[in-house]
Chain A
């Protein structure tokens, strides 16, 4: 589904150049949920923007569904760290933005919009303006918007980072359910190890300066999962500990 071969990205500016990513090789299968973890500044956002076609790599090849990524594509939806809602549009109108952009009939998507709003417990807020919603609700609208045109691939950059722990957990499980239902291929950037373990089929650990893949950890626990009481709590905690070790391991330890 998503393939990256020796992808590197160096930013050039007047003050010099920053090597953000070096030799990234990664294949994401259809329907797979990948989480990207790494310290701040290790190139997670850059990697996501490359896959989204918002940035061009300095070297290497990227493809989605077998096609080279040259610009943003309509079967790939991006969800940003901030909700990025249009403040003058109501919730429903915000949901319809991608529909308008692809030039489809809005009436055909109303059913899907209602369904998404229902799954994210936003029914009744169709006509509310973003400023009338809480941060978590805004982020849910943003999630619905990225799903409205039924994209195959969902790229999410710390979508729940600005939320409190409770809302975050709630949204994580909603996301899990939606992705299981609708078979999305997801790349999900997060700072939270718990979130990374809970959601991932595989967790990709990036090491900083320059950003490289340090390790890919399989999370071999059946879905849906929850952080609380379950048969797999122990296994999840184990994998979490592994990720934590990888993240905190000093960089010099590697060749």
Chain B
């Protein structure tokens, strides 16, 4: 079948209304790429149209083309600030893993620890972290440190919870197996409980990475001299709305890339948990 024929067949399938046709359609690769593109194009057109109808100035709402132009013109500025935000996010995320994973494990293993610290953890999680941001500036100044801390604060909780849930969810049959083999608790942990917990942990990590980006940006909003969040604040001050939009685009791209890096890591580490085919 030539590509054209295939395309024709797919379009025909798209117009058919049987469930099988629908299934075939949703599986097709071409459509998997084409449909999101069409959706995006529709939204961009709507955006441009709204601006045009209302006859808004670029500083109220830039058109998509304005934003693209700004991205090209200010590429170096955007990129250098992007690296700052990526650095804060990734360091914060890794720190949160380093702190959160052991705490999650301890919560799952020792009920005393759980009883002692769970209420405080939950209470702390209930605080809107953005309220702490000014305090962090007072304590740590305007450098990258308060941003990293903010990223840690935001993404640490889901990591702790997912790790604890993962360790607790070791299937009973595997626990019994480990006991019957007379494995040491270190062996049991490394060979069974930790690997069994990984799928749960990744649920938390995928949530955490987006939160880490948000944390870094909140930190940059409050007091910073660089970073995409800082760029947005500054462009607000100078009414350079296109630049703010361009920074937003970069932020979204960072989030998406980091998320899919995690997904790739997950597919590699936890491939046994996914269905085949």
What is the 8 Å Cβ interface bit string for chain B, positions 159-184, against chain A (1 contact, 0 not)?
00000000000010110110111110
A residues whose Cβ falls under 8 Å from a Cβ of B: 52, 54, 71-74, 76-78, 80, 82, 84, 86-88, 97-98, 100-101, 129, 131-132
| Cα–Cα distance between A86 and B194 once the two chains are bound (Å) | 12
Q: List 19 A-B contacts (CB under 8 A).
A: A71-B182, A72-B182, A73-B182, A74-B181, A76-B180, A78-B177, A80-B176, A80-B177, A82-B173, A84-B171, A84-B177, A86-B174, A86-B191, A86-B192, A86-B196, A88-B195, A101-B181, A101-B187, A132-B276
In contact, B273 and A87 (Cβ under 8 angstroms): yes
B139 within 8 A of A: no
B272 within 8 A of A: yes
Interface centre among A72, A77, A132 (most CB of B within 10 A): A72
In contact, B192 and A84 (Cβ under 8 angstroms): no
In contact, B181 and A72 (Cβ under 8 angstroms): yes
In contact, B182 and A74 (Cβ under 8 angstroms): yes
Given A129-B272, A132-B276, residue A86 in contact with residue B179 (CB < 8 A): no
Given A71-B182, A72-B182, A97-B191, residue A87 in contact with residue B272 (CB < 8 A): yes
- Interface contacts beyond A78-B176, A86-B195, A101-B182: sample of 6 additional A-B pairs, CB < 8 Å, sorted by A: A52-B180, A78-B177, A80-B173, A86-B192, A98-B181, A101-B187
Q: How many of B's residues come within 8 Å of A, CB to CB?
A: 19
Nearest to A49 among chain B residues (CB) is B176
Nearest to A132 among chain B residues (CB) is B276
Query: Which residues between 173 and 214 of chain B lie within 8 Å of chain A, taking CB atoms?
Result: 173-174, 176-177, 179-183, 187, 191-192, 195-196
- Nearest-Cβ distance from residue B81 to partner chain A, whole angstroms: 41
| Cα–Cα distance between A77 and B276 once the two chains are bound (Å) | 32
- Main DSSP-derived SS at the B contact region: helix
B183 contacts which chain A residues (CB < 8 A)? 101
In contact, B179 and A54 (Cβ under 8 angstroms): yes
What is the 8 Å Cβ interface bit string for chain B, positions 233-277, against chain A (1 contact, 0 not)?
000000000000000000000000000000000000010110010
A78 contacts which chain B residues (CB < 8 A)? 176-177, 180
Which 7 pairs show the lowest CB-CB distances between chains A and B?
A84-B173, A88-B272, A78-B180, A101-B183, A84-B177, A72-B182, A101-B181
| Cα–Cα distance between A82 and B174 once the two chains are bound (Å) | 10
Point out the residue from A54, A77, A100, A132 that lies within 8 Å of B176, measured CB to CB: A54
Given A84-B173, A86-B192, residue A72 in contact with residue B179 (CB < 8 A): yes
B174 contacts which chain A residues (CB < 8 A)? 84, 86
B176 contacts which chain A residues (CB < 8 A)? 54, 78, 80, 84
B180 contacts which chain A residues (CB < 8 A)? 52, 54, 72, 76-78
- Nearest-Cβ distance from residue A239 to partner chain B, whole angstroms: 31
In contact, B272 and A131 (Cβ under 8 angstroms): yes
| Cα–Cα distance between A73 and B173 once the two chains are bound (Å) | 18
| Cα–Cα distance between A228 and B230 once the two chains are bound (Å) | 82
| Cα–Cα distance between A52 and B177 once the two chains are bound (Å) | 11
| Cα–Cα distance between A248 and B173 once the two chains are bound (Å) | 31
| Cα–Cα distance between A171 and B13 once the two chains are bound (Å) | 48
- Nearest-Cβ distance from residue A235 to partner chain B, whole angstroms: 36
Nearest to A73 among chain B residues (CB) is B182
Nearest to B178 among chain A residues (CB) is A101
| Cα–Cα distance between A77 and B180 once the two chains are bound (Å) | 7
Nearest to B175 among chain A residues (CB) is A84
